Amino acid sequence: MRDLNLLPKAHLHLHFTGSMRVATLERLAERQGMRLPEGLTDNRALHVPSDQRGWFRFQRAYDAARKVVRSEESMRTIVREAAEDDAAESSRRLEIQIDPTSYAPFLGGITPALEIVLDEAKAANAATGVEIAVIVAASRIRHPLEARTLARLAARHAGDGPGDVVGFGLSNDERRGTTSQWASAFRIARKAGLPAVPHGGELLGPEHVREVIDHLAPTRIGHGVRSSEDSDLLGRIVDAGIALEVCPASNVSLGVYPDSHRVPVRDLVDAGATVALGADDPLLFLSRLTDQYEALRAQGFTDAELAGLAAGSVRASFACEASKRTWLAEIDAWLAAED
């Protein structure tokens, strides 16, 4: 069997705090004399029977982890380590997602909070060779006017290279707020050339995905796995060329599916959808990027199909065409090598 860790890929769904190494979280907490909640760092908080899993358990753990990130140094460490960890898994391109609002109180505002991340992304790119770009994501639990402010901030840093903002997202609990309320923020981002990459269709089903498509005009959807429940919707996604950032470990940890064999990637792929696998929050799910490919290998995906998924992730990234061509050739070489 070919080594999936050596398969070149792009990583399009990873959250800033959720990317943190467990050891880093523990070190930052200790340095600040903060006690982490029981079970946070060994996945016991989320490893419960599937009917007890869910968003609130996850949110509590995520909020506790985010509380330790209170300095420029810790933010730089997180970006740098995310790049190193992606490099170790043959990721060529990382599009890391951040809502700078959470860190703004400790850094002097959302602008410096974002600029630290962009600056370190550039440095980490030079150090690791992984192209790191940033998705600025608004949160469904905040007022939509704040999303517009974030969109304007994102627009000022829009570009397509390492250390640039390359997209605008919407994260947090899908069940919060009315999707149409965020349409104006996404319009601001789109005017600046930033494609929309909102979450949708993980906790909620096809109706939610339809709302996200109708109001936010996404280029990619974070998750979107539950589009598999509606063939008309899935056909619409395929026709529109909207890629799905699928994160099997996340789906299982949040109780959307009882185990990774039930994550319907096969249905999505058979329908012709572009799927880009992502780790979402490896800190909490203890499952990184290559693990998502391993999960599909366990479902019966062949090496050629797994290489096809990696190629899908590269094509769905916002990297320049020259970089994509290079990585696609590397994927072909991985598949052509003797297994």
Would you tell me which residues interact with Zn ion (CB under 5 A)?
280
CB of 185 to Zn ion, least distance (A): 18
Structure tokens at 15: 């959250």
The active-site residue out of 120, 174, 202, 245 is 202
* Integer Cα distance of 286 and 291 in angstroms: 9
CB of 331 to Zn ion, least distance (A): 24
Nearer to Zn ion, 287 or 335 (CB): 287
Count the neighbouring beta carbons within 10 Å of the beta carbon of residue 60: 13
Whether residue 162 contacts residue 128, with contact meaning beta carbons closer than 8 Å, is answered with no
CB of 69 to Zn ion, least distance (A): 17
Q: Find the Cα–Cα–Cα–Cα dihedral 114, 116, 117, 122, rounded to 10°.
A: 130
Strands (E), the chain: 9-15, 91-98, 131-139, 165-171, 199-200, 220-223, 243-246, 275-277
* Integer Cα distance of 248 and 13 in angstroms: 12
Is 338 annotated in the active site?
no
What end-to-end distance do the CA atoms of the chain give, in Å? 5
Nearer to Zn ion, 275 or 331 (CB): 275
CB of 200 to Zn ion, least distance (A): 10
Helices 206-216, 231-240: crossing angle, 10 deg rounding = 30
R_g over Cα of the chain: 18
For residue 88, which of 2, 8, 163, 164 has the smallest C-alpha distance? 8
Structure tokens at 250: 């996340």
Nearer to Zn ion, 61 or 331 (CB): 61
CB of 195 to Zn ion, least distance (A): 16
Question: Which residues participate in catalysis according to the annotation?
Answer: 202
